[in-house]
Every structure is written in C-alpha cells, then in structure tokens.
Amino acid sequence: MNLIEMKKANRSQVYQLVYQNRRISKTDIAEVLNISIPTVSQCVNELKQLDLIMEDGFFESTGGRKSVAIKCRDDIRIAIGVDIRKTVVYLVALNLYGDIISSRQQEILFRKDESYCAHVADYIIAFFEELHISGELLLGVGICVQGLVSQDGKYIVSGRMMDADGFSARDIGKYLPFPFNPVLKHDTELAASYALWKNPGIKDALFLMLNPNLGGAIILNGQLHKGKTQSSGLIAHMTLMPEGKFCYCGKQGCVESYCSVNALLEGFEEELGIFFKKLRAGDEAHRRRWEEYMGYLSRAIYNYQVLMNTDVLLSGEMAKYLTEDDLERLMELTLERMGIMEKLPPIRVIGENDVAPGVALYFIVNFLKEFMPDTFQHPEYYD
Ligand SMILES: [Zn+2]
C-alpha cells in the first residue's frame, strides 16, 4: 500500500466509524482505529471539506480533558424513491442513514401515456420543492414500476398485473429536472433490501409482502438470495391448490390466488382498511373469510418451512393491520400442519410499504460506497 492509498484507507475507516457512531470523540477514533491523533485530525479535516462530518462540541473525558466531538452529517445528501402502483404513487425521501425524512402518497391511476408521466413527474417535483433543500444535495430520484423486470434492469418484461408491459420509468424521468434512475428492480427485492438495511441482524428469512399481489424474497446469510436466473422467492406462484383458481400467471391454484390481498377481498368489494374494521367489529362474514385466509396462508408458510426452516417476515399493505393474536393464530395453524415438529422459527411483522425507500436506498448506498468501500463490498444487489 503506498502513501496515498494508506491515507485514503485511514479516511475511509474514520468516516465509517463516525457514520456508525453518529457522534464520537477524536480521542476515541484514535483509540479504536489505533492511529495517531494527528492522523485522525488530518482525516477529519479532509472529511470536513467534503461536508461529510462536522465538529459538534466536546466530550468530557475522564482525565478532565475535553475531546472534540465529531458528528456525521446525515443531511448533506438525500435521495427520493418513487413506487408506482396500479392506483397509487408513493414517494419518500431518505437521508444519508436511510431514514425516511418525508413521505407522501396520492391516488393516481396508472396509464401508459404521456399525460400520466407528466402528472407523476409534477407530483415528484412538488414533493422535492417541499423538502426545501438545494438541488445539489439530491443524489437522485429512483422509480420502481410494479412488474417483472428484464435481467439488465432496464424495462418491464411482464407488467400483467397493471398492464405496464413495455412501460419504462424513463418516460417519467424525462420530465424531471434532476438526476434520475429507472431502478427497475423487482418491488419485493427493493422492500426486502430496505428491511435488511434497517435490520442488519436478519440472517435467514422469508420476506413476504402481503400486497394486492403477493411478493416474496428469500434472505440467506443476511443477503438477498436472487437465484441463478434471478427468479428466487416466487412463493406467490407455488401451487397451493392443484386444479384451483386461475392466476394471472396462467397457472391454476397459485399461492397468489389465495393469499394475496386481492384474494382476501374477493367478493367483498371494499378497501383493506374497511375489511379489517369490520373484522375487528366482529362481523361474521369477515371472520369466516379471515379464518379461511389464514388457513391458506399457513399452508403456504408450511410448504416453505418444511424446506427452509427460517424466520418469516411479513410486510406490505396488510402488515399494519395484523395483531399479535393474528400472528399467534397463524403460527398455530402452521404448526398444526407440521405433524411431528413442535417448534417453528418466528413469524413477525417487519415494515409496511418499503418499496419506495428501497429504491431511494440505491442512491444512498452508492454514495456511501465511495467513502467507505469496505463496508459495502458484499451486497451485490446495490451494484
Ligand atoms: Zn401464478
């Protein structure tokens, strides 16, 4: 390692430490990294010039001497994520920690035409203006459109769920006055990535998005398992009921047709919130449907668990309505199917609608990567 590389490595380590601790003293940095105070000061100065950190008062040390506190600046860059659904557009802005600093949603019915694209672009621009930040701080806007994505991530190959075939986020991007990226990754993958970012302790799990259409992702060893042909986690199209109901994928009896929000609401013609309101109020028809639904969901989870035996993380639109009792019942029903097995890994709720944050995260991680490459050498997802 030559001198320049050494300096860069030191700087990267210092930034990583400040970032992880949010606020830390110069003395502690020197101690943890085992480098001299002058070296720390030099790194700190460089990072200050890049606006990545700032001095923030003092820490009292035990010997009575004060040590300069260094704080990570989380507000120097932000990223916007856009999640385009059939009837709704979700927007979020993330800071450098990937925390949501602002979010909003609006009902806009998806259409594959110019006026739709211009309308969504206006909505994004208005959102950005309300953040009151200067344009240079915006790392970019990422847009995700529901549907399966081509392997190069450039366009939608199957948007059957909302007739988005051939639609490109670029159609919206061209109306935006700031950097934009058509992050056309699978929506579940994006939400699962955000869940991983927020919960780095997750090791192995099934990430299940209970949305109008079901989504699944497999997490193995803290990483998204994408599969050899990029199609792992398609639990939605596992066969749950042979010769059962028809699915939009063309097959019969898919998990999708029994465990998605659309399946739950079939015949009720009401919003999910209303369904749960009536269910909790004790309505008999709703109670029966819910029990039936839980039966199907437990069957899907059982099929997964006999093979994988991992945690099950529930997310998506339904997640916020689920109670501890629901989760217990689901576990009970799943266990009933397990026969001789008496224990299963937990089923729990994690996040809600984290597709838009997952899109924005792409920019945050790419920015951070430049200043602390060692931290992000593994998650290939962000490449
Ligand atoms: Zn299917």
- Token pair in block for residue 215: 């989504």
Note whether 332 and 286 are same-domain residues.
yes
Cα of 254 vs centre of ligand 1, distance in Å, is 5
Per DSSP, 350 falls in state: -
> Degrees (nearest 5) of the Cα angle 252, 256, 262?
115
DSSP letters along 201-263, please?
A: T--SEEEEE-SSS-EEEEEETTEEE--TTS-TT-GGGSBSSTT-SB-TTS-BSBTHHHHSHHH
Note whether 168 and 217 are same-domain residues.
no
Note whether 219 and 342 are same-domain residues.
yes
b/e burial code for range 125-140 (CB count within 10 A of at least 16 → b): eebbeeeebeeeebbb
The number of beta carbons lying within 10 Å of the beta carbon of residue 265 is: 17
Cα of 27 vs centre of ligand 1, distance in Å, is 58
Note whether 313 and 365 are same-domain residues.
no
Q: How many domains does the chain have?
A: 3
In which order are the strands placed within the sheet that holds 23-25? 23-25, 66-72, 53-60
Note whether 93 and 35 are same-domain residues.
no
Residue 194 lies in a domain: no
Q: What is the rounded radius of gyration, in angstroms, for the C-alpha atoms of the chain? A: 24
In this prediction, residue 180 carries a pLDDT of 81
Cα of 356 vs centre of ligand 1, distance in Å, is 25
Cα of 305 vs centre of ligand 1, distance in Å, is 20
Cα of 240 vs centre of ligand 1, distance in Å, is 10
What is the pTM for the complete model shown? Answer: 0.88
The residue type of 183 is V
Q: What is the C-alpha to C-alpha distance for residues 113 and 110, in angstroms, rounded to an integer?
A: 9
Note whether 214 and 261 are same-domain residues.
yes
Domain termination site, one of 45, 72, 99: 72
In this prediction, residue 338 carries a pLDDT of 84
CATH number of the domain where residue 343 is located: 3.30.420.40
Note whether 150 and 282 are same-domain residues.
no
Q: Could you give phi then psi for residue 200, rounded to 5 degrees?
A: -65, -10
The tens digit of pLDDT for each residue in 292-346 reads 999 999 999 999 999 999 999 999 999 999 999 999 999 999 999 887 777 899 9
The residue type of 12 is S
Note whether 223 and 310 are same-domain residues.
yes
In this prediction, residue 381 carries a pLDDT of 45
Note whether 36 and 65 are same-domain residues.
yes
Cα of 211 vs centre of ligand 1, distance in Å, is 15
In this prediction, residue 62 carries a pLDDT of 65
Domain termination site, one of 21, 52, 72: 72
Give the structural domain span for 161: 78-189+355-382
Domain termination site, one of 72, 97, 116: 72
Cα of 216 vs centre of ligand 1, distance in Å, is 13
* Contact in structure between 231 and 215 (CB atoms under 8 Å): no
What is the residue-level pLDDT of the chain in tens, covering all 383 positions? 788 888 888 999 999 999 999 999 999 999 999 999 999 999 999 999 999 999 888 887 666 678 889 999 988 899 999 998 888 999 999 999 999 999 999 999 988 889 999 999 999 999 999 999 888 899 989 888 876 555 555 555 555 556 666 777 788 889 998 888 777 677 888 999 999 999 989 999 999 999 999 999 999 999 999 888 877 888 999 999 999 999 988 999 999 999 999 999 999 989 999 999 999 999 999 999 999 999 999 999 999 999 999 999 999 999 999 999 999 999 999 999 887 777 899 999 998 889 999 999 989 998 998 888 777 654 444 44
In this prediction, residue 254 carries a pLDDT of 97
Note whether 222 and 132 are same-domain residues.
no
Note whether 91 and 108 are same-domain residues.
yes
- Token pair in block for residue 379: 């998650």
